[in-house]
Structure 1
């Protein structure tokens, strides 16, 4: 079963169980997937492949976590918790995130492979690292680590 189909199946199950929070979050995920299908030139009933689903859900997780931070900064703890709960629902469909040591190993190996020595080569290193960690590490986290390795 594809990831897209799994999300729709889970949505139906959440609706039957009357789980309002999960139903709401999964409906938004399905809507985001339909929007992506249309943007890619398919019909709204079109199916996204698993890589596309992971990209969409990854950006939704990031969006929810940023919103939670903004709500928390504004003193709206309940809204922040709602956003974080939605992010966790989406994250369950994504691959396991890389640990700090594992990510550092990939970055170090890539820096050594390219012979990068300074911050002016950060773009080259990022271009080589991102396909290796696709969907398993946030670009901001990778960028910070690459910068640290090239300047430190």
Structure 2
């Protein structure tokens, strides 16, 4: 292992990111009710059109999102187990995120109803997904993951 401190720091950050994303997905699709989104609209935190967009997300997209969150979290755990499965899991998560974002931005035109900061956050999530897959691939090449 070239730099154990860097490996464990990045792995810990990716685990925290996976836990946070899983929590966000669970909250957004299981716990949050229309009244929650309406309150955010009333406070000016989101546009009414975005609340409508969320309410109309197809079930298959919700399932892909849950699968992306699960594979991302399992990828982080695989890093802690020093398993090469981390790359497969992060690759799956990245693949699912690309599908979800293509549907949201190219097909559903979500950028019309969200703030530029939300667009930037989605781009950051995509870049972190790319980084996680790359990081795990590099750890396989360095012999850290088996």
Larger relative contact order (Cα-Cα within 8 Å, sequence gap ≥ 6): 2
TM-score bucket of the superposed structures, by smaller chain = 0.3 to 0.5
Larger Rg: 1
Task: Give the TM-score of the pair, scaled to structure 2.
Answer: 0.34
Task: Give the TM-score of the pair, scaled to structure 1.
Answer: 0.33
